[in-house]
Structure 1
Amino acid sequence: MIEEAAIPDAAAQIAGLIFAVLLIDEDGRIRNANPAAEEMFGLAASRMLGRAYREVVSICERHVGAALKDSEQPLIARGVLITTALGKEPMNLSSSPVIAHPGWRVLTLSRSGAEGTPSVTPQPNEVGAPAVLAHEIKNPLAAIGGAGQLLGRRVSEKDRHLTDLITREVERIAGLIDRMQQLGSNASIDLGPCNLHASIRNAMASVRAARPDGCELIEQFDPSLPLVHADARSLEQILINLLTNACEASEGAETNHVVVRTRFVSGIVHSTIQSGKPVRLPVEICVLDHGPGIPEELRDDVFEPFVTGKSHGQGLGLALVRKLVRDLGGRITHERNERAGQTLFRVNLALAEKDARG
């Protein structure tokens, strides 16, 4: 006789949902949050509990925010622009009163397109650079660059700086177009088992070679971590960008070193729209620096294209990092600890399939 499997309790069922669930009390404070809410809002449940939900989930559309003030009224809204710690994003929202507890309600949020048929539309905040347009721009750029080099051989020494300027600007614009193409690319990545620490060390070696200023890179690795589900080249590019930013931020700081830490964490689940299944992300990479941090007014939009606190920055580096992390099925978050004077970027990844099953 086959024994009937035990039915998961309510807590286990809510924890497995791919959309965010918040339990709100009569004072509008968060009393419970599932793992998908942690992933969607970029905050651990412990940092949400007890806070007013409007501090965690800021609703940009006034009529929806006004409707939510009535805790006894059910509400469904689609495509509502909502701001969280990770930035602005259109979401589907519902509010359901808890009948047995007046004033209490359950708030659910999912990314627009997450319900029903899985959406394969590119993320709304990512930049697309059509290949035809890039081709049309880069062809004349190459001609300008070549003409600049020819002129540089013929002009006098006192005018050489002008042709050098032409060459530098052509290279800068070509690099900008390349990065925009990467942001808009939908090319598939070959994911598989990846040695996390080998990829990190390769990235560290590249950054050390490119920076003669001697910014110290410190490893704090958990040697017991298994293989992750990733692509080595993409992971190295993510780390090169984060480490380069951290080293630049550390220039002039009293503590001029960058720490790269790896560890195993529990309770982080990523709601993958493409697969329709929640995926655990137990492996964390943390890049920590002691620089002044990103300006406070930019922190909510730090992963958006063209947002930068650098005087000569393009604002594409972190946007590209976010895209690459998403391509790996992972997540990235940013934190600033003012008391400790630390800036932290955390990347969470899934285990390789064999280790995930085990």
Structure 2
Amino acid sequence: MALARSGLRAGPPEGKGPGFAELFGALPVAVLVIDPDGRIAHANPACELMLNHSESAMVGQPYDAILLPPEDYADRRDGHGFAAFDIEIEAVRGPRVRVDFVESLVADRPGWRIVTLHHAPHARRVAQGADRTAGARAAVGAAAMLAHEIKNPLSGIRGAAQLL
């Protein structure tokens, strides 16, 4: 198994709960583990589905042979993570996908990185659409209120003219 080869512990002692492989496989977010040489060490099932590659086909491959990195990725600084939100990525064998791309360093494992890919922008676009809809309603409401204020004084003047 790829987990054993990488030196990552496969799980807790027998009967003590799920092991790393089970937890990693159950994550709903696409995750890639990148080794110090820039090669893919692990990919969870969500990542396999998103990138249209099996883990066995990805393991050992250079990261950029599977996934074309975001535009600003080359500008990242060593020793720091990287994040790009609501971007379009392209897998070599998969479709273009809009994602939040986050790369983190693995503590106590120099050179190891974890890349997560979230399908979050859809929810963000829905929320932005709701904000625009609320703004449009507010504008219509303001126009209606202004029309009422203009109409009221004219009604008052007309009523006064009738009294005279």
Fold match (TM-score > 0.5): yes
Q: What is aligned with 2:83? A: 76
TM-score, normalised with respect to structure 2: 0.60
State the secondary structure of the residue aligned to 1:80.
Answer: strand
- Percentage of pairs with the same residue: 30
**Alpha-carbon distance between aligned partners in 1 of 2:21 and 2:83, rounded to the nearest angstrom:** 23
State the Cα distance separating 1:46 from its structure 2 match.
0.7
1:133-152 to 2 correspondences below 5 Å: none
| Match among 56, 71, 75 for residue 62 of structure 1 | 71
State the secondary structure of the residue aligned to 1:47.
Answer: helix
State the Cα distance separating 1:19 from its structure 2 match.
1.1
State the Cα distance separating 1:55 from its structure 2 match.
1.2
Write the deviation string for residues 93-123 of structure 1: whole angstroms up to 9, x where unpaired.
1111112121111111122337xx69879xx
State the Cα distance separating 1:72 from its structure 2 match.
1.9
State the secondary structure of the residue aligned to 2:102.
Answer: strand
CA contact (8 A) 1:71 1:105 kept: no
1:1-358 to 2 correspondences below 5 Å: 6-59=16-69, 61-63=70-72, 65-68=73-76, 70-84=77-91, 85-113=93-121
Q: What is aligned with 1:219? A: none
Write the deviation string for residues 132-164 of structure 1: whole angstroms up to 9, x where unpaired.
xxxxxxxxxxxxxxxxxxxxxxxxxxxxxxxxx
**Alpha-carbon distance between aligned partners in 2 of 1:12 and 1:119, rounded to the nearest angstrom:** 33
State the Cα distance separating 1:18 from its structure 2 match.
1.2
TM-score, normalised with respect to structure 1: 0.29
State the secondary structure of the residue aligned to 1:92.
Answer: strand
Q: What is aligned with 1:172? A: none
Structure 1: gaps (5+ residues):
122-358
CA contact (8 A) 2:103 2:114 kept: yes
**Alpha-carbon distance between aligned partners in 1 of 2:75 and 2:55, rounded to the nearest angstrom:** 25
Count the aligned residue pairs.
112
Structure 2: gaps (5+ residues):
1-14, 128-164
State the Cα distance separating 1:17 from its structure 2 match.
0.9
**Alpha-carbon distance between aligned partners in 1 of 2:89 and 2:103, rounded to the nearest angstrom:** 15
State the Cα distance separating 1:6 from its structure 2 match.
4.4
**Alpha-carbon distance between aligned partners in 2 of 1:111 and 1:13, rounded to the nearest angstrom:** 20
CA contact (8 A) 1:38 1:44 kept: yes
Q: What is aligned with 1:238? A: none
Rg: which structure is higher? 2
**Alpha-carbon distance between aligned partners in 2 of 1:119 and 1:10, rounded to the nearest angstrom:** 34
**Alpha-carbon distance between aligned partners in 1 of 2:67 and 2:120, rounded to the nearest angstrom:** 15
1:12 maps to a residue whose letter is: E
CA contact (8 A) 2:98 2:121 kept: no
**Alpha-carbon distance between aligned partners in 1 of 2:75 and 2:108, rounded to the nearest angstrom:** 21
1:67 to 1:16, Cα distance in 2 relative to 1, 3 A: farther
Give runs of ≥4 in structure 1 deviating > 3 Å: 117-121
Q: What is aligned with 1:263? A: none
1:79 to 1:16, Cα distance in 2 relative to 1, 3 A: same
2:71 maps to a residue whose letter is: R
**Alpha-carbon distance between aligned partners in 1 of 2:55 and 2:103, rounded to the nearest angstrom:** 19
Write the deviation string for residues 238-269 of structure 1: whole angstroms up to 9, x where unpaired.
xxxxxxxxxxxxxxxxxxxxxxxxxxxxxxxx
